[in-house]
Amino acid sequence: MILRSILTAIVALALPAAAAAEAVLVHAGQLLVQPGEAPLRQATLVIDDGTVRAVRPGFATPAEAGLPAARVIDLSRAFVMPGFIDLHVHLASFAGGESYLRKPSDYAALRAAANARTTLMAGFTTVCDLGSIGYAVLALRDAIRDGIVPGPRILASGDPISPTAGHSDNHGYREEVMAALPRRGVCDGADDCRRAVREAVRRGADVIKVMASGGTLDESDAPTDQQFSDAELIAIAETAHAFGRKVTAHAHGKGAIDACIRAGFDSIEHGMWADAETLRQMKAKGVWLIPTVYPITYVGTTPEQVRAGPLRNLPPVSLAKVIALGDQPKKLVRQAQAMGVKIALGTDASIYPHGQNAHEFLEYVEAGMTPMQALEAGTTRAAEAGGIKGAGSLRPGMPADVVAMARSPLDDMAAVLDVAFVMRGGTVYKMDGREIPFMPPASPAAPAAPH
Ligand SMILES: [Zn+2]
């Protein structure tokens, strides 16, 4: 451990982290500027002030690029592409981890910061956090944006919107315990649901996350339930859109998914039991599917695997719901892809350890996508589904969110599991497979003395 720290320190001296404002030329062996298009061979990515300025053929020198002071980063033997995007994470949680009931409430934000750093090191430069209690991830989002701690760019929902007794309400405990726990995001009736969405926006939510069906891991609701009425879902979607926010639904059962499609939702998370008719509706209305396959593979897809797997200590009722999923997620992706439903990458990071998010790309290929389609799902398509303007592509004008790996994922999708280089907004966070120690900027000027 000490040796590793010393090595890291030496590497840090040899390879100082690029400041965001620094001019950088990345010499790329292969450069995938825009997933969906063929990668370029031997090209230079010209970056200045944290933004991609140009893409040039060959390995341009700083003088040739018109930036004589530029630093050259040699990725001439690597595959270089836009940073990955995960539209469904829970940075403050880990299903196999500790209970926050025994921790101070601010502990969740510190746990989330560690998970955010791990996620960035795995090549995810943008994530959407779809549910964290209180302000933990909303605060982390701002701290990362302000350069205080390292991590991906975060869009966050804060507390999800749920009906009384719904998937993210507290239920199943004795009365006194439930009375003591916070209940943000809980609403009943169309007017109250408008209020709940407005409250979420007031707290700083970038996206509105709705618990439209029951869930799998808890004990007291069924994933096939439609928990909100049509009138409530319409009120939620209208209010979210009125505030310029995307609205996405946790929905497993057909009834809940269909109701969200009717109500005008932008996307469906999980969508496990969507049938052909539901998928046709999603395609017709342009509703995105965010299928979260890897967590189910992680917990096991056969009854034997689930009973011996990481969630083996779940209560029997929850274990039975996990077992019922089987390989349904992969079947769903195969069918949705074949029918032309738009799919974007999301992983529900928290069911599995944070940082393993890139396994989702491999799941999509196993479910029938080409490697390029899988890469699109986790870059350009995720940016489109999430309404994220500055991510998913390395075209001139885009933020310099860049990852690189030794092999081409177009030849072997498993290459995405070994991201060796990470840059976000022009700052290098990982080089040659090693994390660059993060240096927050010097403290801002001391506040003026009180009057
Ligand atoms: Zn989730």
State the distance from the centre of ligand 1 to the C-alpha of 215, rounded, in angstroms: 9
Q: What is the pLDDT of residues 240-293, one digit of tens each?
A: 999 999 999 999 999 999 999 999 999 999 999 999 999 999 999 999 999 999
Q: In what order do the strands lie in the sheet with 288-290?
A: 207-211, 246-251, 267-270, 288-290
Strands 419-424 and 402-405: antiparallel
Confidence of residue 41 (pLDDT cuts 50, 70, 90): very high
Tell me the pTM. 0.92
Are the CB atoms for 287 and 266 separated by under 8 Å?
Answer: yes
Query: How far is residue 363's CA from residue 385's CA, in Å, rounded to a whole number?
Result: 19
Is-catalytic flag, 266?
no
Is-catalytic flag, 209?
yes
Residues 6+ apart with CB under 8 A from 303: 323
Residue 343, pLDDT score: 98
Q: What is the pLDDT of residues 393-417, one digit of tens each?
A: 999 999 999 999 999 999 999 999 9
Are the CB atoms for 339 and 274 separated by under 8 Å?
Answer: no
Residue 324 Cα to chain centre, angstroms: 26
Q: What is the pLDDT of residues 83-141, one digit of tens each?
A: 999 999 999 987 666 677 788 888 999 999 999 999 999 999 999 999 987 789 999 99
- Of 290, 231, 288, 292, nearest to 262 (Cα)? 231
State the distance from the centre of ligand 1 to the C-alpha of 214, rounded, in angstroms: 12
Phi/psi zone of residue 123: left (φ > 0), alpha (ψ -120 to 50 degrees), beta?
left
Query: How far is residue 217's CA from residue 314's CA, in Å, rounded to a whole number?
Result: 8
- Of 273, 260, 255, 281, nearest to 341 (Cα)? 281
Confidence of residue 315 (pLDDT cuts 50, 70, 90): confident
Residue 444, pLDDT score: 56
Give the phi and the psi of residue 200 in degrees, each rounded to 5.
Answer: -65, -45
Residue 310 has pLDDT above 60, yes or no: yes
> Mind listing the domains of the chain with CATH numbers?
2-83+393-435 (2.30.40.10), 84-386 (3.20.20.140)
Query: Which one of 169, 209, 266, 401 is the catalytic residue?
Result: 209
- Of 394, 438, 401, nearest to 421 (Cα)? 401
Confidence of residue 223 (pLDDT cuts 50, 70, 90): low
State the distance from the centre of ligand 1 to the C-alpha of 2, rounded, in angstroms: 37
Confidence of residue 365 (pLDDT cuts 50, 70, 90): very high
* Mean pLDDT over the full length of the chain: 90
Q: What single-letter amino acid sits at 11?
A: V
Residue 345 has pLDDT above 90, yes or no: yes
Residue 20 has pLDDT above 70, yes or no: no
Determine the Cα angle at 86 with ends 81 and 88, to 5°. Answer: 175
What residues are neighbours of ligand 1 (ion), with CB under 5 Å? Answer: 348
Confidence of residue 226 (pLDDT cuts 50, 70, 90): confident
